[in-house]
């Protein structure tokens, strides 16, 4: 197992939830950390609460600014020198039925969750190739492996990430580049509150499954373990992880189980 201690890690979606918790746990390991999200005030709060704030830098980032990614990446590399790990964590979920959802909601889900992540990945890839070192850690979801009602566009974007990063791993293994896909189940974050509804507005309320999910600090420690073990994929959650195996071996049973569930 390779230790993450002392590595330089760039985290997107670092202003809350998984990204915030990950920043604190990496801070305990003496990592140099670059925090990115859209809101600087939130990033400053996370930095101030970090174990070693002097080892934390802030770089605001909007995943929908595709063309700005090369300049942002150059700026990121200038903060601590070569970046060892990019954590593609930023994203937005969905809670709406297909028939009721405006098309522009699907566009935004794909732009943020897939295309923005790909744009940033493409921007840093030449640096990783040049260094013969680099680890892409992309937070997808169990929804990247199977579907659930009210999450069609979100599922589509997460499935797309799996396809892209599986191929990136194949094409750039020769360059010393690693890829780990992290697939969360239910985690105690604001993902449900921030989820897009049919007209693109936020849902603004939580759900029982999310509230009863894994504590986010525990999730972050499990995520770090998966990174250090250089996992190709890691499924992190509770009973909902059974969906992975049902999808593989008993897809019709999974279909029935999901339809019977009250998760929204």
Active site members = 154
Neighbouring CB atoms inside 10 A of 28's CB total 13
Half-sphere exposure of 134 (CA within 13 A, CB side): 28
* Rounded Cα–Cα distance for residues 216 and 192 (Å): 14
Question: In sequence order, which residues have a C-beta less than 8 Å from that of residue 106 and are 6 or more positions away?
Answer: 152, 153, 156
* Rounded Cα–Cα distance for residues 33 and 7 (Å): 8
Nearest to 76 by CA among 43, 135, 32, 117: 32
Contact 188, 216 (CB under 8 A): yes
């Amino acid at each position: 197992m390779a230790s993450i201690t002392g590595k330089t890690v760039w985290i997107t979606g670092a202003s809350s939830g998984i990204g915030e918790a990950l920043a604190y746990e990496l801070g305990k390991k003496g990592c140099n950390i670059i925090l990115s999200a859209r809101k600087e005030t939130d990033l400053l709060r996370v930095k101030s609460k970090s174990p070693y704030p002097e080892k934390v830098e802030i770089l605001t980032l909007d995943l929908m600014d595709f063309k700005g990614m090369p300049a942002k990446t150059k700026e990121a590399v200038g903060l601590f020198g070569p970046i060892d790990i990019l954590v593609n964590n930023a994203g937005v979920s969905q809670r709406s039925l297909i028939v009721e959802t405006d098309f522009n909601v699907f566009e935004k889900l794909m732009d943020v969750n897939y295309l923005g992540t790909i744009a940033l990945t493409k921007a840093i890839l030449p640096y990783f190739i040049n260094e013969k070192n680099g680890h892409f850690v992309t937070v997808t979801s169990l929804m990247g492996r199977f579907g659930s009602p009210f999450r069609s566009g979100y599922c589509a974007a997460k499935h797309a990430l799996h396809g892209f990063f599986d191929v990136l791993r194949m094409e750039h293994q020769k360059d010393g580049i690693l890829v780990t896909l992290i697939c969360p189940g239910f985690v105690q974050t604001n993902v449900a509150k921030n989820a897009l509804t049919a007209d693109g507005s936020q849902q603004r309320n939580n759900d029982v499954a999310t509230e009863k999910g894994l504590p986010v600090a525990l999730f972050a420690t499990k995520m770090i373990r998966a990174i250090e073990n250089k996992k190709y994929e890691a499924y992190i959650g509770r009973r909902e992880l059974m969906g992975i195996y049902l999808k593989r071996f008993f897809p019709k049973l999974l279909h029935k189980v999901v339809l019977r569930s009250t998760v929204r």
